[in-house]
Amino acid sequence: MTEFRGFDSTEIRALAASLRKLGGDARGLHRDLASVLTEATQLMKGKPATTDPLLQPLVGQVFFMPSLFGGPAQMPGVLDDELGNMAGSMDRRSKQLDECEMLIEHGYAVDPALLFADEAPADEQHIKDALKQIKELDGKDFGTNGNRDDLKKVESMLDGMTSAELDAFFDRVPEADLKRYNDLINNTDDSGWKWWDENGLPEGERRDHLSRILAKLGPAHWAKAQAAFPGMQPGFDTTDAYLDGKNSQSGADAKGMHWGIPSDPLFAPGSNGQDINAADINQGRFGDCWYIASLTSTAQVNPQFIRDGIKQNPNGTVNVRIWDKDGNQRWVTVTPDVPLDKDGTPMTAHAKGAMWPAYYEKAFALVYGGDDGGAPDGHEGDKRYDRTEHGTYGAIEWDYNEKAPPYVTGHDSKGIDNSVDSVRTSFNSGHPVIVSTGSGDDVNKKGQDKWGTTFSTRHVYFVKGFENGNIVLGNPWGPPNKDIVATPDEYKEFFGNPQALEVPKS
């Protein structure tokens, strides 16, 4: 095979063979070194034959000390496994490269990022079979038992594809076929009189299916997938921020909203998510304080739990752990683009130098199933704002603080007595606690006279701690908004509905 896209698979395979041989030779070198060092130590009457920390473990090794993978556990013998694994990966990637080149010669487009992926080689027949199966859904008589079994065949085919196969499929499949498939999997209505009549895919299965597609699909085909499957991307044009051009509480500008890739990475550079800090989280400009307060309070008590719930895929998409309305844990896949304002600044939640809160928020917007309209946003009765939604950022604006915790932790929160003593008891027992404020212009003015603009009515705060008998509340708006320090009487006057969250142990 000649050079293709900067790779020469023949040369790569030759290098893999050399690495595999060197790995095999490392076992003999390991045995010889161990023998020499052991004999030298004996001749030196117990004095160390080497002070090198990498060689000292070999002294006295008559037999290999196996690693978890079966080879020697120390250098240089460990290179047998390591170089062998590397060679195996190079062989698989070379085979993938050859098959992708063949697909491209046959007229398919495959995202360049997938050409050298470490996966099973692409099989063109899998692509042809899936194209045929999804085409046959057009006008098909599904019989008396509904269409679910036919849809599951397509689902199984797409889920079983490699990244390259799926990308080639999306390049070739007509948009009309994808949209028809989306309409069918979303329509779960049946005839109403036959118990065996099953249509569409159940919501949870449908959500998992879309996530599996996005987790493998090349970036060049994300837009086509999202156009066909609206459930992959939450809309933002029903949010108060979009309709008003600003956040109604903070007044922060929100004009020029559009999708884009943020400049900050998933985690702050060099941290790998190990520096998750609740104090760095900023709600952004959507009215979802009730959710961000739950996320932030959980991150404060158990940052590792939050870190374990998010990971980036090789294609750049992000998997987020979330629980659905029925309490089922799911991993929801989202693309890395988020709503930005006219200046390219994220509208979404974010942290200092990191975007992981935005992807938690985006996954929540897709999954949240509790929006029934009528939330106290000051627009009651206005159908542009006050309506039931699902799968949008608008659906997660303006709701009640007890509705978010199950989606973050997998457990319902527990309402506790509205007193500083009760809140302190729960907080000191390891529970994140969130509280909310009431409504009314008089209350807002009185609160801002005490604490400035960090106080807002119709807002949810999280408990940060206690000092000198007072309660310290964090604002999910994040820096530069200051904490609220309230006496027990002030707390009782301005705050209510405290909820204690249950966070699983990491």
Distant-in-sequence, close-in-space partners of 465: CB < 8 Å, separation ≥ 6:
427, 472
- Model pLDDT, residue 146: 92
| Amino acid at the residue 72 | P
User: DSSP per residue over 302-370, as a string?
Assistant: -HHHHHHTEEE-TTS-EEEEEE-TTS-EEEEEE-S-EEE-TTS-BSS-BBTTB-HHHHHHHHHHHH---
> CB of 473 within 8 A of CB of 405?
no
Q: What is the pLDDT of residue 63?
A: 55
Percent of the chain scored above 90 by pLDDT? Answer: 67
CA geometry: angle 185, 191, 197, nearest 5 deg: 65
pLDDT band at 463 (very low <50, low <70, confident <90, very high): very high
In this predicted structure, what is the pLDDT of residue 72? 56
Pick from 122, 110, 115, 123: nearest CA to 97: 115
The confidence score (pLDDT) of residue 112 equals 87
Average pLDDT over residues 7-23: 84
Please, are residues 396 and 365 in contact by the beta-carbon 8 Å criterion?
yes
Mean pLDDT, the chain, integer: 90
Q: What is the pTM of this model?
A: 0.87
Q: Which of 23-27, 103-107, 120-124 has the lowest mean pLDDT?
A: 23-27
| pLDDT > 70 fraction of the chain, expressed in percent and rounded | 93
pLDDT at residue number 194: 58
Structure letter (DSSP) for residue 272? T
Task: Cite the DSSP H helix spans in 124-174.
Answer: 124-135, 148-159, 163-172
Cα dist. 259→33, 107, 223, 254 in Å? 59, 31, 11, 13
Per-residue pLDDT at 372: 66
Q: What's the CATH code, domain 414-500?
A: 2.30.30
Distance (Å, whole) CA 83 – CA 75: 12
SS (H, E, C) 11-55: HHHHHHHHHHHHHHHHHHHHHHHHHHHHHHHHHCCCCCCCCCCCC
Could you read off the pLDDT of 351-373 as tens digits, one per residue? Answer: 999 999 999 999 999 999 887 66
**Residue 497 pLDDT exceeds 60:** yes
Q: Over 80: is that where the pLDDT of 330 sits?
A: yes
pLDDT given at position 10:
84
What are the residue ranges spanned by the domains of the chain? 9-98, 121-228, 240-409, 414-500
Most confident of 102-116, 237-251, 325-339: 325-339
Predicted pLDDT at 349: 98
Question: In this predicted structure, what is the pLDDT of residue 90?
Answer: 85
Average pLDDT on 156-163 reads 97
Tell me the mean pLDDT in the region 328-351: 98
pLDDT digits (tens, 9 = 90+) for 201-244: 999 999 999 999 999 999 999 999 999 999 999 999 999 999 99
User: For residues 169 and 110, is the Cβ–Cβ distance under 8 A?
Assistant: no
* For residues 116-132, average pLDDT: 94
| CA–CA gap between residue 14 and residue 397 (Å, rounded) | 58
State pLDDT tens for residues 242-283: 999 988 788 888 999 999 999 999 999 888 777 899 999 999
pLDDT value of residue 97: 86
Which whole number is the average pLDDT over 178-201? 86
CA atoms within 13 A on the CB side of 345: 10
Q: Is the peptide bond before 76 cis (omega within 30 degrees of 0)?
A: yes
Q: Measured at the alpha carbon of residue 261, what is the angle toward residues 295 and 321, in degrees to the nearest 5?
A: 30
Question: DSSP assignment, residue 280?
Answer: G
Answer yes or no: are the C-beta atoms of 435 and 495 closer than 8 Å. Answer: yes
At residue 193 the predicted structure's pLDDT band, cuts being 50, 70 and 90, is low
Query: Any idea how long the chain is?
Result: 506
Pair of tokens at residue 49 = 């034959």
pLDDT in tens, 42-90: 888 778 878 888 777 777 775 555 544 455 567 677 788 888 888 888 8
CA–CA dist 296, 280 (Å, integer):
9
What pLDDT score does 136 carry?
97
Element of type H or E holding 106? none
Query: Would you state the pLDDT for residue 69?
Result: 46
pLDDT 10s digits, 381-398: 777 777 778 999 999 999
Q: What local confidence, expressed as pLDDT, does residue 17 receive? A: 87
Is 423's pLDDT higher than 80? yes
